[in-house]
Amino acid sequence: MIKKDRMDLLLAIDIGNTTTDIGLFENRRFTRKVKISSKASALDVLKLIKRLCKPSDPCKARAIISSVAPVSLKNVEKVLKTGIGIRPIVVGRHVKVPIRNLYEKPLQVGQDRLVAAYACRQLYNVPAIIIDFGTAITFDLVNSKGEYEGGLITPGAGMALEALAEKTALLPKVSLKCPKRLIGKNTVESIRSGIINGLSGMCSALVSRLKCKKRESMFVLATGGLCRIMTKYSKCIDNIDENLILKGLCLIYYRKTSYKQLIR
């Protein structure tokens, strides 16, 4: 039990290929988060964490990290240890995600995908399809037994926009926004409509095929930085949770009291 006069602070950190999400849980309740580039300097990360924890003392916080970017992970670990005095728990190194992994080679699955699957199982419904709209778009299946079954990976919107700009002579680099209409009346509109409507159509088609393959109704949950935009165009999604992985990290951290041994 947590004493009423004591604030239990947990930093849940999800390090992606492009951005890092840092969420703050106070007495096990999600309160707020910040985003920063995964290539940000150690000083910038330190400043952001201290700002996030105000008015509390960040030195009294604990931390758990999920990462798909080894170099960025080292940077964040160093910031926490030397800048704040926190020894973080790293998912996959100090603790395993408590979900059965049916991948042929289990170590090939990104920890973020397992954390999302675990969080979906604990907080929502199964069987489920989790769509993470990040640098890549991942589709992950949790079966009716609550096991991680596998999934699909495809390039995300940002990656597609960069590829168009880099691999063509005349197409410009475009910021990602909701298209005003299906049929673009200029090049920028055409690119935005093609990316958003194309990816949302792909999502709907893949969800339909997955449900047909499984021959059962499946809960479809969207997460990731672009989930709110994509959900407007893909009607197959039942719910969105932008903070699914952060919540999963919190659930994993508090699952066993023995984890406290790792942060002494």
Q: Point out the residues that are catalytic.
A: 112
Nearest to 14 by CA among 134, 156, 160: 134
Contacts of 118 (CB under 8 A, 6+ apart): 97, 98, 99, 248, 251, 252
Nearest to 125 by CA among 252, 250, 221: 221
Single-letter code of the amino acid located at 132: D
Token readout for 224 is: 């990731």
Total Cβ atoms within 10 A of residue 110: 19
Token readout for 105 is: 């080679």
Report CA-CA distances (Å) from 264 to 25, 28, 218, 260. Answer: 19, 19, 42, 7
Token readout for 20 is: 């890092």
Nearest to 140 by CA among 53, 42, 221: 221
Phi/psi at 106 (nearest 5 deg)?
-55, -30
